[in-house]
Amino acid sequence: MMGAGRRWVLTDVGLAIVLGVLATVVVLGIWFEPVDVPVNLIFLPLVLGILFLSSRVLTWFAGYILLMLVAGGVVQDDLSPRIATALGAMAAIALLVIVMSLRRGQLGVGPLRGQSMLVDLRDRILAQGEIPVLPEEWLVESALSSAGGSPFAGDFVVVTAADRGRRIELVVVDVSGKGEAAGTRALQLSGAMGGLVAALPPYRFLPAANDYLLQRSWEEGFATAVHVSVDLTTGAFELRSAGHPPALQREAGSGRWKPLRPEGPVLGIVDDAEFDCHHGRLAPGDSLLLYTDGMVEEPRRDIDLGIDHMMGEAESLLRGSWDGLARRLVGAVGSPGDDRAMLVVHRRP
């Protein structure tokens, strides 16, 4: 491990040296052949450095590029306003790179490496919501959409089988904030919740998740969640909520939706939180909808009106099929400026 890390640092520094030599050669070319070597060429090594160097090395490398820009201006025979403006713009960008790389310094990787790591972590969040193989009578689907189309969101779903496949645990979580800001917190929380819901009995899950959040030092250290544990043999379920919008149950006999509102505080706010339990049953043909507030909240509209609108839209979409309902609902309702998550549980008749 240590040897591998040392080789990586040497490779990073070696690339910086090569790029630094390239910048030096460009400045020498400007000095000896000012007509044939454009001053803008100094910027090429910096662009390559931004793409491939770690933040720690990039800080020093951008400083060296600043020196080369000054040298490029000094060796100019005729420093025209156009060349001076170009040098000034490149110097400003180099300074910005220094500031940004110092802010990224704790991560210690370049943008491409950092992006690859974040994509891997995002894929791990999505993996937490993968639906296990279920008996044929059960349909479970989830869909996610982030604010503004960002690849990261503060809403996520955790699904896991329990009791040797006899029970399924379903959790929908809404981390405070939205988009990428909330997505970084969701990266941490999803892994913890996936481990907790798989290891603990249903009544202990939300208290444990609350304790976990209380231990975090986040500025916005809270989240809402809804957790349902379904017996796949009988259809009996236990539903608990932590400050989350009400789950919706559709009874096939009446064809009506009804909200389920067990009480419980938001996660990460109070110690020793208690969460009420709603005991219910999904008969053949019945369904549950679990979702985040982005599905039902819009500016200047009461949330109950948003819930009514979503229930009406769901009923309209059901004229086709239950298959794909989660994805179709996320596409049809809610605010595009907010993160949205939907989870559908249906027991086929």
* pLDDT at position 179 over 70: no
Q: What average pLDDT does the structure give for the chain?
A: 82
CATH, range 115-347 = 3.60.40.10
Say what the pLDDT of residue 320 is.
65
- If one compares 112 and 183, the residue with the highest pLDDT of the two is 183
What are the tens digits of pLDDT across the range 4-18? 444 444 466 888 888
Contacts of 60 (CB under 8 A, 6+ apart): 16
CA 230 to chain centre: 27
CA angle 148, 151, 152 (to 5 degrees): 90
Q: CA 115, CA 118: separation in Å to the nearest integer? A: 5
Amino acid at 226: V
In this predicted model, what pLDDT tens digit does every residue of 99-156 receive, in sequence order? 776 665 544 444 544 455 455 555 565 666 688 899 999 999 998 887 766 556 678 8
Smallest CA-to-CA distance from 282 within 204, 229, 342, 343 is with 229
Residue 283, sorted as left (phi over 0), alpha (psi -120 to 50) or beta, turns out to be beta
What is the residue extent of each domain of the chain?
2-109, 115-347
Q: Are 296 and 311 in contact (CB under 8 A)?
A: no
